[in-house]
Amino acid sequence: MAKALLVIDYSKDFVADDGALTCGQPAQAIDQRITELCKQFLQNKDWVIFPMDAHLKNDPYHPETKLYPPHNIIGTAGREVYGQTGKWYLENKDNDHVLLMDKNRYSAFQNTNLDNYLRERHIHDLTLTGVCTDICVLHTAIAAYNLDYEITIPRSAVATFTSNGDEWAMAHFKNALGANIAD
């Protein structure tokens, strides 16, 4: 059965020290693990999908404008995939099994074609990685659960702003969504 790795919002703005809305060191520490997973999935002829925030500068209509500083602005370096993972993406972006897709809400399923893309390829098992564990990864996992996908969350490949947020989200993935927690 086909599988997909989702690398959620792993951008310079969310990960780099000078990122506009950075998780900093915890997010930087998962770079190597995400890259390893990307390589593994592609070698197995599975899919690697990069759902990436895509915002307009100073958009008065987007609810995140009131919550966070401007981040992942379309056309800026802040949207580039971060680190080793970014290098891997650039080397493999033309592969039919690698996709970067824009999203404009926390969940990678909201207002996107992700569900159709996965179903067309008979993908039922999803591994969710990236940032932020308790925001975009969480909302994507909830949507995946509600769409009946099997979910795996590797602890070593997600990060967020606080350890409390990370711990709460991991418990929620396991206890409320039935996700497989891997390492």
Reading the chain (183 residues) residue by residue, the pLDDT tens digits are 899 999 999 999 999 999 999 999 999 999 999 999 999 999 999 999 999 999 999 898 988 888 999 999 999 999 999 999 999 999 999 999 999 999 999 999 999 999 999 999 999 999 999 999 999 999 999 999 999 999 999 999 999 999 999 999 999 999 999 999 998
What are the helix (H) ranges across 16-162?
Answer: 25-28, 31-43, 64-67, 83-92, 114-120, 138-146
Q: Note the pLDDT of residue 43.
A: 98
Question: What 3-state class would DSSP assign to 183?
Answer: coil
Question: What's the predicted TM-score (pTM) here?
Answer: 0.97
Contact 51, 101 (CB under 8 A): yes
Q: Note the pLDDT of residue 183.
A: 87
Count other Cβ atoms within 10 Å, centred on residue 75: 9
Instruction: Tell how far CA 38 is from the center of its chain.
Output: 12
Task: Scan for tokens 């207002």, then name that residue.
Answer: 111
* Domain ranges for the chain: 2-182
Contact 117, 99 (CB under 8 A): yes
Residue 30 CA to residue 158 CA, distance in Å, equals: 7
**Is CATH 3.40.50.850 the classification given to domain 2-182?**
yes
Q: Note the pLDDT of residue 29.
A: 98
Which own/partner pairs from 54-62 qualify as long-range (CB within 8 Å, at least 24 positions apart)? 54/79, 54/102, 54/103, 54/104, 55/104, 62/104
End-to-end CA distance of the chain: 21
